[in-house]
Structure 1
Amino acid sequence: MPKKQTYADLGDACATAHAMDVIGDRWSMVIARELLLGPRRFADLASAVVGVTPAVLTSRLKALRDSGVVEQAQLDDLGRTRVYRLTEWGQGLEDVMRSLGHWAQHSPGFPVDGSMTPDGVVVAMRTMAPYATMAEWGDGPVRLAMELHDERRPAAGVRRYRLQWDEDRFELTEGADDEAATTVSGDSSAWADVVFAGSPIGSMAVAGDQRAVERVAAAYSAIA
């Protein structure tokens, strides 16, 4: 099979064209999305990137490594687990995803049905965050723990995240938060519907102050 020509091969020196050479293939941006929150094993990516085959995933990871977006590393654990992670340059894709997400929200063909992985909905929350102060939605900061699973992939288990949102800070990262006053748990797609589509919070289990969850949902519902 002949080598696929890039825009650069065709003499196009445009930076946007080069960006499409790097991340324009199907699955590449989705793989990068799943790496935004931290390193992942090949098996983690194969499970999270719904629909990708092992062969295609291997090919896309190689291409992303060759272009400097992704690198391999070993975790400091007993098994010396091999993982993939974004390079420092690759981490800049979060800003790209933020712009693409806002642009895509106005697409006449935006899909109204579908599902999202736990990491997918959390990355969407980060990239689509209104960055308004929580004072606009009630008194005091919000500290929320999220425990999300994907009903399509029960074997993947529960993923945990922590959100801290106050007057001058928005932080949404991976990991448990044992000191959070409120914990919301349930299916990741149901949580996406609460946050982005205004669905009832009753689809999720809430332990603690339900008002904190309502305030977060209200802030996202105000995104134009």
Structure 2
Amino acid sequence: MSLNLSYGDLGDACAAAHALDLIGDRWSLIVVRELMFGPRTAPDLRSSLRGIGAEELNERLRFMERAGVVVETELGYLTKTTAYALTDWGRDLEKILSALSLWALEGSAHYPVPSTGMTPSGVMVAMRTMVPPQSVTTQMPVRVSWKLSDARCPEVEQQQFRLDWNEQVFDLDVGDVPRADVKVAGDSTAWAGVALLGHSLDEALAQGALRVDGDRPALERVIRVFSEAMAAVG
């Protein structure tokens, strides 16, 4: 994929137009979302990016690499596996994803946001979007650990995330947290429903979509904060 017939070629020197040449196609920002918490292989990305073909994904990754948004890397020490990771510049696109998400939610009365499914990375990016630093409250501290998989993509390994939330910091990222107060495991879409859409935690537990081990009241405080943030936007 090349930059032939870019906005610049057509006489438009706007920086926003140039950005659209780089990441304005259907898939680029979704690739960025799935790489936000660490490197992924092309097959894993394809499983998470529903509707994209292998050739189209590989072409998009090659273009994003030439553009400086992603970089090819390796996973593992003994068996080298090719994967893709975001560059520092690529990680800066999280603020673009967050702004687009908030814009879509604010206009949901005109064109509702779908609620059909979310990947583990997708729901965690959404959670980081919905709680800006000024929302940190004295209801915390709390430490939460998640192990989430996408029930629609059973071949993709689960991803682990952790939240360390106290009066000074809201730190939601990939990995584990020592001495977690509560641990959540299960389907990412089910967790998105509970945390962001007001679905019943009891129902998700009863259906086996989620499992909770530890301080459930602490988890419910976290859910309440996110539910209130979603309600404020919608």
Query: 1:32-91: CA deviations, max 9, x gaps?
Result: 111111111111111111111001101111111111111112235111222111111111
Equivalent residues in 2 for 1:1-224, closer than 5 Å: 4-75=4-75, 77-107=77-107, 108-131=110-133, 132-135=135-138, 138=139, 140-177=140-177, 179-202=179-202, 203=204, 204-223=210-229, 224=232
SS at match of 1:89: helix
Whole-Å Cα distance in 1 between the matches of residues 81 and 168 of structure 2?
37
Deviates more, 1:26-35 or 1:42-51: 42-51
RMSD: 1.8
Whole-Å Cα distance in 2 between the matches of residues 121 and 148 of structure 1?
10
Residues 68 and 3 (structure 1 numbering): CA distance in 2 closer, same or farther, change over 3 Å? closer
SS at match of 1:161: strand
Are the counterparts in 1 of residues 182 and 213 from structure 2 also a CA contact under 8 Å? yes
Residues 121 and 78 (structure 1 numbering): CA distance in 2 closer, same or farther, change over 3 Å? same
The TM-score with structure 1 as length reference comes to 0.92
Counterpart amino acid of residue 179 in structure 1: R
Counterpart amino acid of residue 37 in structure 1: F
The TM-score with structure 2 as length reference comes to 0.88
Residues 95 and 78 (structure 1 numbering): CA distance in 2 closer, same or farther, change over 3 Å? same
Unmatched 5+ stretches in structure 1:
none
Q: Report the Cα offset of residue 178 of structure 1.
A: 5.1
Counterpart amino acid of residue 207 in structure 1: D
Are the counterparts in 2 of residues 130 and 220 from structure 1 also a CA contact under 8 Å? no
Counterpart amino acid of residue 213 in structure 2: A
Q: Report the Cα offset of residue 103 of structure 1.
A: 0.9
Query: 1:94-130: CA deviations, max 9, x gaps?
Result: 1111111111112221234310111111111112224
Q: Percent identity?
A: 42
Q: Report the Cα offset of residue 157 of structure 1.
A: 3.4
Counterpart amino acid of residue 212 in structure 2: V
Whole-Å Cα distance in 1 between the matches of residues 211 and 68 of structure 2?
41
